């Protein structure tokens, strides 16, 4: 695998255009110009109504999360955020 980057700059005998890297860049240029720019990341969430157990746990996406004791035996509105940041119960982040 270490020799692959080195071979990209070697002139190919069957190509009059030059090295493999030059041929690849020439083929990709029209496609690159036609691509649309990426839209901004969607900053959304999914909201669920959950009830906190007496042991201060809630189930969310097959995982148990602890919440502050003040939420015990109470319904909460849980916002599921994308990525590893987890969720929030009201304005309190889940542990």
Please say whether the beta carbons of 95 and 65 come within 8 A: yes
| Residue 22 counted as domain residue | no
Q: Which domain holds residue 86?
A: 46-93
| Residue 5 counted as domain residue | no
User: Is the pLDDT higher at 83 or at 39?
Assistant: 39
pLDDT grade, residue 31 (50/70/90)? confident
Average pLDDT for residues 64-89, to the nearest whole number? 79
| Residue 81 counted as domain residue | yes
Up-side HSE of residue 17: CA atoms within 13 Å toward CB? 10
| Residue 10 counted as domain residue | no
| Residue 59 counted as domain residue | yes
Structurally, the chain folds into a number of domains equal to 1
The pLDDT of residue 18 is 67
Burial group, residue 81, by CB count within 10 angstroms (0-12, 13-18, 19+) = middle
């Amino acid at each position: 695998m270490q020799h692959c980057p080195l071979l990209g700059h070697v002139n190919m005998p069957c190509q009059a255009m030059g090295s493999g890297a030059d041929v690849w860049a020439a083929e990709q240029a029209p496609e690159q110009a036609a691509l649309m720019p990426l839209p901004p990341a969607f900053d959304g969430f999914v909201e669920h109504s959950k009830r906190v157990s007496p042991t201060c746990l809630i189930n969310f996406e097959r995982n148990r999360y602890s919440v502050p004791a003040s939420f015990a035996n109470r319904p909460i509105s849980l916002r599921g955020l994308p990525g590893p940041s987890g969720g929030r119960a009201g304005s309190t982040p889940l542990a």
